[in-house]
Amino acid sequence: MDNIMKCTPLGEQKSLWLRKTLLIMKFFVLFLLLGTIPCWAGVAYSQNVKMSLDMENTTVHDVINAIEKKGEFYFTYNLNQINVNRKVSIKVENKTINQILDQLFSKSGIDYKIENRHIVLYKQAVSEVEAVKQQKSINGIVADEQGEPIIGASVLEKGTTNGTITDLDGRFTLSIGKGTELIVSYVGYTTKTVKIGNQSTIKIVLIEDTKTLDEVVVIGYGTQKKSDVSGSVTSVSGDKLSKIPTANAEMALQGMAPGLSVNFGSGAAGSSATLQVRGVTSWKDDDGENSESNGPLVIIDGVPGNMSYLNPEDIKSISVLKDAATAAIYGSRSAAGVILIETHRGTMNSAPKITFSGYWGLSAVPKRLEVCNSAEFIKVRKMALINAGTDESRWPKYISEYERDPSQFADTDWQKEYYQRGFTQKYNIGYTAGSANSNVSLSAFYSKTDGVTIATGDEKFGFRLNSDVTRGKFKMGESVSYSRWSADLESNSGFSSIYQVTNMEPLAFLYDENNDGGYGGAISGMGMSDAGNQVAFNKLIDNTSSNDYIAASGYLQYEPIKGLIVKFNASRNMYFGKSRLFKPTYEIGAAKRNTMASLSESRSQTTNDLLELTANYDKTIAEKHNLSLLLGLSQEENKYEDLSASGSDFENNSMSLMGHAKSNYSVGGTKTRSALRSLFGRVNYNYMMRYMIMASFRYDGSSRFAKGNKWGFFPSVSLGWNIANEPFWENLKETVSMFKFRLSYGALGNQNIGLYRYIPTLSYNNHALNYPFDGRETSMGYAITAFPSSDIKWETTVYKNIGVDISLWNNKLELSAEAYIKNTSDMLSSRNISLATGYNSSILVNDGKLRTTGFEMQAIYHGKAGGLKYDLDLNLSHYKSVLKSMANPDYLYEYGALRTYVGGEIGEFWVYQTAGIFQNQAEVDEWNTAHGYKDQNGNWQPLQPVAKPGDIRFIDQNGDGMLDTNDRVKVGSGTPKVSLGFNINLAYKDFDLVANFYGDFGAKRYNYTKYQLERMDHVFNYGKNALNAWTPENPDTDIPRAVSGDPNKNSRTSTRFVENGDYLRLNNLQIGYNLPVKYCKKMGLSNLRIYVGATRLFTITNYKGYDPSTGSSVGQMGYDYAAIPLSRDFMMGLKFGF
C-alpha cells in the first residue's frame, strides 16, 4: 500500500534546517550575553555607581530603602544605635554613594563602612574608652556534631541586624554589645540561640535538623509545603540523583519514587528507558500509540520537554504527580501522570562559583550465556540426527569433515568476540553568580560511552543557561539549552543481534580474507546454517543516528499588589533527527551475501511552541486562613515534518552518498500539525494547616477531534486533614508530628488518538479492492483507507486516591501509604465494517474501558549512631491493569506467548502446560490411549501421535483430544506484583556511602533466548543444556531428547520457557571521601569529593536469561526477546568547587 504525500527535495530541506539552526544558535549567544552581564557587572558596582535623590520631609528609613532599590545596595545596622525614624530632607544629583551618605548622616554621630554593595552603619564613638565600655568583639567557630566546620552559617546579634557569616574554616568575628545573645542558623540544622557573657571566644555546635514538614515540593504552576499537600506527590532531590553516575536522567530515577516504573527495553547503545506512572492508563489496538499514551508528561522548568536530553547534574528536584488532584492542572496531557523537573538556577547576592565533576569507568555485560563449543555442537547435532533416524549419508558434511580434521574449522566464542569492555566518561562544569537583583547559572556537559557490543556507542554534549533579573515589581528570566545525542547503533540483516550471536555455529571463522569485507561465516558446501556474523554486521554496516534538542523559554512576571503575580511565559522546543543506514556489498560466508550496496537516510524536525499567561494570588488572613488562587490560559502548537530517501547500486562502498545511487530510488515525506488551547484554574485553601482542600480544572480544546468534540472539561478535588495539628493532639506532638489523611477524586483527558482521524484518507492497492471488468484481469484502485470518525471524543481517566502520611519522633521516621483506582473509559477501539461500504478499514469508536488498581508505601528513616549519620528509604509499589471492554468482545492481542483480551490483565502469559518427559514407550502408549479423539471415520487419533521416549508430555486442557491454541493456560503476567526500591545514604566523618537497590517480585519472564538455544527444529548452535538432554542413560533431566526436526514440537510455546522473573539488584554503589575544608582552602577550593563506584554490581535472581529487567513495552512486559543486557560499570570520579 502506498500513502499519498507531498515530498520536497532532500537537499533543499537540509539547507532550510541548517539556516534555522544557525539562526537559533545566534540567539543562544545573545541570550547568554544578556543573562550574564548583570552578574558580572556587580563586581565593581559599589565603586562606580552614581544616583540622584529628591526626598522632602521623610525618614532615614525611607532614604535607605530608596538607595537599596536604586543602587542594589543593602544596609546592616543596630536599631538600638541608629535612629532610622529621624526626619530628613535630601536632594542630590548624580552623586556617589559616599557623597550621599556623608550628606545624609552629617552631624548625626553616625558613620558607615562600604564593602562592595554591603553598607554597615554604626554610631561614632565619643571616645575609644567609651567604645570599649559599650562594645566587645567575639571570636567563634560554628561546627556540626562531628566537629566539622560549617561554612556560611549565619551569626546574628539578637534584636538587631548586626551579623556576619562564617568563613571557610567555620570561623567568625563580630562586635556586639555586652550581655547580648547570638542567633546562629544554617540550612539543614536547628537554629541555636547562645547567651554571651564575659568570654571573648566561643564554639557553637549546631544539631542537624531532620524536620521535613516545611520542605517545599513543586506542583503544577507553583509550589507547596510538603505538609500542606493533599494530593499524591513524590519528590526526589537532585542531590540524590547526582550520586548515580549516568548520562541518562531516566536511569537514575529507578527505585527512587513509589509508583514510578523505569523500564529498560535493551542495553544497546542509543537506547533509553521508558517511564510509567502507576501502571497502564490506556490501551489501543490499532495505531501502536500505547507507549505514548502511557508515558507521563515531562515538564522541565515549566515547559514540556524530554528527559533523555537532560543532563542529570542540572537537576535541582523532581516531583512526580500521580493523581488527578495534582495532575489535572495539565489536563489532557497528564492522564498518565506528570514529572516536574526544576533545574539549578543562580541565587541573588551570591559570589561567583565554579563547579566541576567528572567520572571515568569501564563497562561490560554482567554475564554470558553458556553455549556449545565446536566439539559439543557436533556431539549434540549427531545425537539429534541419530534420534531422528536420519541416514548418515544425509548428514551435513561438516560433521564428517570435523571428525576427520577439526583444524579446518574454527572454535569461535561468538559472545567473546561480540561483547566488548567499553570505556565511559562524563564531564560537567557549572558557573553560578548573583547580584542584588539578578542571577545566572551556566552549565555544560560532555559524555561518551562505548557500547557493550562491538563497534557501538553513543556521545552526548550540551549546555544550559538560566538567568533571572528583578526590577522593582517586575521579574524576568530565560532558560536556554542545547543537547546533541549521537549513536553508532546495532546492525543486522533482519534478525536480533543476540539471536545471531548465540545461534551462530562455533565452527565458523570470524575472519576470512577471501570474502568481500574480510569476515567469515558459514563455510561453503558444508551444509551450515544461515546464521550471520554479527561482529561483521556491526563493523561493516554504517547504522548511525543523531538528534539535536534545542529548548528556549522566557518569562515576564509582574506583581501589581502584594501576593498577586501575573506571569507570561513563551517557549519553543525543537528536535532535529537524522539517521543513516548504509549496507555495503559484503560476503559473510556462504549464507549471507549483499551484492548491491544500499543507503537509507531520513531527516525529521519537531517544533513545539507554547504560550502561557497565568495569574496567581496568595493571601493569609488572620494568620489562620491560607488561600492560593490560580487562573491561566495556554496555547500550544506542535509541528512535525520528515523526509526520507533510499537508493542502491553504488559504484563502490566508498561512494556512499545518496547522489551516487544508480537505482531503486525512493523518496517520501510527512508533514503534520496539531494544536491545543486551554483554560485552567486552581483553588488551594488550608485552615491553620489542619484542614486542606484543593480544587482544579482544565478546559482543553484539541485539533485532533472533529467539530463538536474538540473541547473537554477535566476537574479534580482533594481533601486533607492533619490530625496532628488539632489542639487535642498537643501532648502527642513530640512523638507524632504529622498524621495526615488525604483523599482525592478527579478526571483527566487523553488526546493521543493519532492525527486527522476525522478526515478520510485514500490508499492505492491490489488486495481486496480488485474487481474484474468484463472477464478481464483485475484492476488496481483507490479506496478510502480510514473511515472518517467524526464522533471520536476524548478518552477520560477517572482517578480515586486515598492516602495517609505519618511523621514520628521529630520527623526521624516518615511513613506514607496510599491506594488508588483509575478507570479509563472511551478508549479507541476498532469495529470491523463491510467492504461493501466502500471503506478498506474498520471504524474507530470510543468503546474501550480499562481499570488499574494499586497501592504504594514508603518509609524514610533519618538516624545517627555515634559519628555515623544515615538515611534509609524503602518504597513498595503494586498495580494491576485489566482490560474491561473493547468494541469487539472477542478482542485478542497476541505477542508470542503474551495475550491481552477483554476481562484479562494486560500482558498475560498463555502457554501449553507440560507434564514431564516420557520415560519409555509404555508411558507414551498409555498416554495416547487415554488422550485423543475419534475422527469422522471413527478412527482413534492419539493426542501426541509421534511422541517417543524423551519427548515432553503436554496437557489437553479442554479435553477435545487435540493440542491447539485452545489448550494454552494462563501462567502469570509480565507485570510484577511488587516493585521495591531501597536507598541507603551513610556518612561517617569525611566518608560517605550510597547504595541503591531495586527489585521486581511476582512477575514471569518468557525466556526467548532459551527457546532459541534448546529448540531442535533448526540447525543453529545449542545451549550447553542440550548436553544434558534426555537419554535412556540420563532420565533424570528436564531437557527433552535431542531430535532433529522436533517432530513432537517439544519447543512449542510452553511452561518450559516461562521462568520466575523475581530479582533484586544493587543498581548503584558509591563510596566517597570529602577532603576536609582546611585542606581544600589551601588548594584554593571550597570542596573536593573523590569516589569509586559500580552500577548493577550484582543481581539476585533465578532467571536463566541475560537480564530479568528487559522486555518492558506495554502489552509485551516480561517477554525477553533476545534483548542486549544492561552493562555493569566500574568507575571513579571527583567533584570540586571554587
Q: Average of pLDDT values for 712-721?
A: 95
Residue 6 has pLDDT above 50, yes or no: no
Residue 1026 has pLDDT above 90, yes or no: yes
Residue 282 has pLDDT above 80, yes or no: yes
Cα(295)–Cα(291) distance, integer angstroms: 6
Contact by Cβ (8 Å): 815, 859: yes
Beta bridge partners of 978: 1001
Contact by Cβ (8 Å): 64, 507: no
Q: Which helix (H) or strand (E) is 540 found in, with range?
A: helix 534-540
Q: Kindly indicate the confidence band of residue 356, based on its pLDDT and cuts at 50, 70 and 90.
A: very high
pLDDT, position 226: 79
User: What is the number of other CB atoms lying within 10 angstroms of the CB of residue 836?
Assistant: 6
Cα(1029)–Cα(1011) distance, integer angstroms: 14
Task: State the virtual CA torsion across 401, 407, 408, 413 in degrees, nearest 10.
Answer: 100
Residue 667 has pLDDT above 50, yes or no: yes
Burial class (CB in 10 A: 0-12, 13-18, 19+), 965: exposed
User: Which range among 26-30, 466-470, 659-663 shows the weakest confidence by mean pLDDT?
Assistant: 26-30
The more confidently predicted of residues 25 and 221 is 221
898-901: strand order across its sheet: 892-895, 898-901, 908-911, 969-973
Residue 97 CA, distance from chain mean position? 52
Main-chain dihedrals φ then ψ at residue 104, nearest 5 degrees? -65, -40
Count Cα atoms within 13 angstroms, Cβ side, for 679: 4
Residue 118 has pLDDT above 70, yes or no: yes
Residue 705 has pLDDT above 60, yes or no: yes
Q: Which of 1131, 1137, 995, 900 is nearest to 246 (CA)?
A: 1131
Main-chain dihedrals φ then ψ at residue 759, nearest 5 degrees? -115, 130
Residue 355 has pLDDT above 90, yes or no: yes
Identify the DSSP state of 839. B
Q: Kindly indicate the confidence band of residue 738, based on its pLDDT and cuts at 50, 70 and 90.
A: very high
pLDDT digits (tens, 9 = 90+) for 678-695: 999 999 999 998 999 999
110-115: strand order across its sheet: 74-76, 118-123, 110-115
Contact by Cβ (8 Å): 442, 433: no
Q: Kindly indicate the confidence band of residue 789, based on its pLDDT and cuts at 50, 70 and 90.
A: confident
Residue 270 has pLDDT above 90, yes or no: no
The more confidently predicted of residues 1097 and 94 is 1097
Per-domain residue ranges for the chain? 49-123, 131-205, 237-346, 914-967
Q: Average of pLDDT values for 123-146?
A: 67
Q: Which of 772, 773, 877, 895 is nearest to 819 (CA)?
A: 877
Cα Rg of the chain (Å, integer): 35
Cα(573)–Cα(609) distance, integer angstroms: 7
Q: What is the longest distance spanned by two Cα atoms in the chain?
A: 129
Place of cell 554504517: 542
pLDDT, position 7: 32
User: Which range among 514-523, 764-773, 779-788 shows the weakest confidence by mean pLDDT?
Assistant: 764-773
Give percent of the chain with pLDDT exceeding 70.
Answer: 89
Q: Say which CATH class 49-123 falls into.
A: alpha beta
- Work out the angle at residue 430's Cα, subtended by the Cα atoms of residues 554 and 555, and round it to the nearest 5 degrees: 10
DSSP string, 649-707: --SSTT--SGGG--EEEEEEEEEEEEEEEEEEEEEEEEETTTEEEEEEEEEEEETTS-T
User: Which range among 186-195, 713-722, 935-944, 982-991 shows the weakest confidence by mean pLDDT?
Assistant: 186-195
Count Cα atoms within 13 angstroms, Cβ side, for 748: 34
Cα(483)–Cα(464) distance, integer angstroms: 9
Cα(237)–Cα(985) distance, integer angstroms: 13
Cα(319)–Cα(342) distance, integer angstroms: 9
Q: Which helix (H) or strand (E) is 64 found in, with range?
A: helix 60-71
Cα(35)–Cα(40) distance, integer angstroms: 10
Q: Average of pLDDT values for 757-774?
A: 58
Residue 722 CA, distance from chain mean position? 33
Count Cα atoms within 13 angstroms, Cβ side, for 767: 11
Q: What separation, in Å, do the N-terminal and C-terminal C-alpha atoms of the chain show? A: 63
Q: What is the reported pTM?
A: 0.83
Mean of the per-residue pLDDT values for the chain?
87
Domain 131-205 CATH assignment equals 3.30.1330.90:
no
Q: Which of 712, 723, 599 is nearest to 663 (CA)?
A: 599
In CATH terms, the superfamily for domain 237-346 is: TonB-dependent receptor, plug domain (2.170.130.10)
User: Which range among 321-335, 380-394, 422-436, 630-644 shows the weakest confidence by mean pLDDT?
Assistant: 321-335
pLDDT, position 386: 96
Contact by Cβ (8 Å): 977, 868: no
Cα(974)–Cα(1105) distance, integer angstroms: 15
Q: Average of pLDDT values for 721-734?
A: 92
Task: State the virtual CA torsion across 968, 969, 974, 976 in degrees, nearest 10.
Answer: 180
What's the residue count for the chain? Answer: 1138
- Cell matching residue 896: 508470542
- Work out the angle at residue 1039's Cα, subtended by the Cα atoms of residues 499 and 1019, and round it to the nearest 5 degrees: 40
Residue 819 has pLDDT above 50, yes or no: yes
- Cell matching residue 654: 566508498
Q: Average of pLDDT values for 567-587?
A: 96
Contact by Cβ (8 Å): 144, 189: yes
- Cell matching residue 272: 533509553
The more confidently predicted of residues 1090 and 150 is 1090
Q: Average of pLDDT values for 439-465?
A: 96
